[in-house]
Amino acid sequence: MGGDDSVGEPTRAAVSFAKKQGVALHEVFVITTPKGEYLAAKQVRRGRTTEQILADILPRAVHDLAWPRSMTWTGLDGPRFIRPNSLDCRVARRQTAKADLCG
């Protein structure tokens, strides 16, 4: 394994790198680049679905839209809208998903 000292023991830097990456020391490997050899670790992180990401982003994005003559439901800081308010669903991958845009 890379990151070993002259007697074959892992260097302190290699141990710290593995710990910082959240992997076991035996999972660390060496990659070679044009600039030299570096320690690396492979991490797999499960992503979120498009629907989950949009559910987080869309309500704020719609809330922050500015229209010249918008109306509000709950005062100036509340959700603004123009008539008709038809922003009640979103389409992702040809699937309709519910969105809570105005609380």
Question: Is 103 within a domain?
Answer: no
- Rg of the chain over all Cα atoms, to the nearest angstrom: 25
Question: 58 and 26, same structural domain?
Answer: no
- Per-residue pLDDT at 87 exceeds 50: no
Domain count, the chain: 2
What's the whole-number mean pLDDT along residues 8-15?
A: 85
- Specify the DSSP class assigned to residue 26: G
The 10 Å CB-count burial string (b at 16+, else e) for 25-40 is eeebeeeeeeeeeebe
**Residue 31: inside a domain, yes or no?**
yes
Residues 55 and 92 in one domain: yes
Q: Whole domain around residue 39: which residue ranges?
A: 1-45
Residue type, position 48, single letter? R
Q: In angstroms, rounded to a whole number, what is the distance separating the alpha carbons of residues 70 and 62?
A: 12
> What is the pLDDT at residue 50?
83
pTM score? 0.43
Asked if residue 29 lies in contact with residue 40, where contact means CB atoms within 8 angstroms, the answer is: yes
Bridge partners of 59, per DSSP, are: none
